[in-house]
């Protein structure tokens, strides 16, 4: 009996097919195109730190974590797979169906299919009522996916992905139009979830930390509207994709192992990757800033999929703005074990500023650099908290009080 030929998908980036993803039985493999091999130096991490450019094919063990990491997780994945009549673990089939608008700059298409080009004609804006309907339907239609909309975005939270028009209206990301914003719906199990995340991101911004741009909108339920940092708007209005990967993808770790306690990366491993992938120690210090922010607000869910690298078209790789930051300690029933331990501490309520500095020392940051950086963030905390309250007036008083209490404790515990 003849062996079935492999199934193939073309991986496009910046308007060019750069690689071919194949599936033989249940195994994935990837090879860069000859054109990509000619255009880029060997070992350039074009797709991923774990998939550098070269002539050899990459095998399933390293290919699967990257491409599976592009797909939704949890219940959202189950529903989408069911609706598409695919198995939940059919990574190849889901990518074939959803890969036209992924995180980063990738467009994944069946081999031989032409790349969709953005039309010069503006798409029809969505009436406000339609946006509200799409949001209400998210539990049953994750990401707003229909037969016209084929989007892949990792994560477990209910999200709607839309494109912002120059008029300020929303449009569906179809016919080659990349999405520009992620609209996140609150999980009904957690009160004030939208305001919580908006407040924590605002606090980070006022501390001078690079964070994703986000605001609360009423549609009519509270929705967190997050501007995609992996998109840019050109002067002519064209939406440009910027490549990115999260740190499970960069480390070739399964999304199911995103927590340290499940065998996932430690902060030290994350810092080592960032130091290797980026230029200088600046991004390692930015990782320290984000770690401080997570400790201040009490975010125990800062796992490896909640950190990403941006791959600029210039070849520069940098730590992406921080995202998915919220106070998990605000919810008493949420596990207080940090997703990645700090100086060996496994309870977020016991981590001190000294723990943070000692953790940074294991990354190779000298205490003469780490201590003043941490101390500077602490000194800015009171004013930054006041400013975040103004930015997010819907932030519940008890959440703000909790963060102020935690901030005061850190302020009274200078690093040494």
- Return all residues near 374 (Cβ < 8 A) that are at least 6 apart: 288, 292, 353, 356, 357, 360, 415
Alpha carbons 204 and 209: distance in angstroms, whole number: 5
Core vs surface per residue 307-330: b (16+ CB within 10 A) or e: bbbbbeeeeebbbbbbbbbbbbbb
pTM of the entire predicted model:
0.91
375, with CB counted inside 10 A (0-12, 13-18, 19+), is middle
Sign of the CA dihedral running 91, 117, 318, 324? negative
Neighbours of 205 (CB within 10 A): 21
pLDDT of residue 74: 83
pLDDT of residue 415: 81
Catalytic residues: 301
Strand partners, 27: 24
Nearest one of 100, 190, 88, 80 to 140, comparing CA atoms = 80
Using 50 as the pLDDT threshold, list the residues of the chain that sit under it. 1-2, 146-150
Alpha carbons 378 and 384: distance in angstroms, whole number: 10
Pairing of strands 16-24, 7-13: antiparallel
Alpha carbons 120 and 198: distance in angstroms, whole number: 34
Sign of the CA dihedral running 342, 381, 284, 155? positive
Pairing of strands 159-164, 170-171: antiparallel
């Amino acid at each position: 009996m003849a062996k079935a030929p492999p199934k193939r998908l073309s991986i496009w980036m910046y308007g060019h097919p750069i690689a071919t993803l194949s599936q033989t039985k249940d195994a994935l493999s990837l090879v860069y195109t000859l054109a990509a091999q000619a255009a880029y130096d060997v070992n350039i991490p074009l797709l991923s730190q774990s998939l550098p450019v070269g002539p050899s094919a990459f095998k399933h063990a390293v290919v699967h974590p990257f491409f599976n990491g592009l797909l939704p997780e949890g219940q959202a994945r189950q529903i989408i797979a069911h609706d598409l009549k695919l198995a939940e673990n059919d990574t190849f089939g889901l990518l074939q169906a959803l890969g036209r608008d992924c995180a980063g700059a990738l467009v994944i298409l069946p081999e031989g299919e032409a790349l969709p080009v953005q039309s010069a004609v503006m798409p029809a804006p969505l009436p406000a009522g339609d946006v509200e309907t799409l949001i209400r339907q998210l539990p049953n239609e994750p990401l707003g996916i229909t037969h016209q909309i084929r989007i892949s975005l990792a994560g477990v939270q209910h999200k709607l992905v839309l494109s912002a028009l120059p008029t300020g209206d929303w449009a569906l990301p179809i016919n080659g139009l990349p999405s520009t914003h992620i609209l996140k719906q609150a999980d009904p199990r957690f009160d004030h979830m939208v305001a919580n995340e908006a407040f924590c991101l605002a606090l980070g911004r006022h501390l001078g930390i690079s964070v994703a741009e986000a605001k609360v909108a009423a549609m009519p339920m509270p929705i967190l509207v997050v501007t995609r940092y992996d998109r840019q708007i050109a002067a002519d209005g064209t939406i440009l994709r910027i490549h990115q990967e999260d740190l499970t993808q960069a480390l070739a770790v399964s999304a199911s192992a995103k927590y340290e306690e499940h065998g996932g990366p430690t902060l030290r491993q994350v810092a080592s990757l960032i130091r290797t992938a980026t230029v200088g120690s600046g991004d390692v210090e930015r990782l320290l800033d984000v770690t401080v922010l997570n400790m201040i607000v009490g975010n125990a869910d800062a796992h490896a999929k909640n950190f990403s690298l941006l791959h600029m078209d210039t070849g520069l790789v940098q730590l992406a703005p921080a995202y998915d930051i919220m106070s998990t300690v605000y919810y008493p029933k949420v596990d207080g074990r940090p997703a990645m331990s700090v100086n060996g501490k496994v309870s977020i309520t016991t981590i001190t500023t000294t723990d943070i500095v000692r953790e940074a020392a294991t990354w190779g940051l000298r205490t003469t650099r780490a201590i003043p950086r941490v101390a500077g963030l602490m000194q800015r905390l009171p004013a930054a908290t006041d400013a975040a309250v103004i930015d997010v007036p819907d932030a519940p008083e008890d959440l703000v009080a909790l963060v102020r209490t935690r901030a005061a404790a850190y302020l009274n515990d200078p690093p040494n």
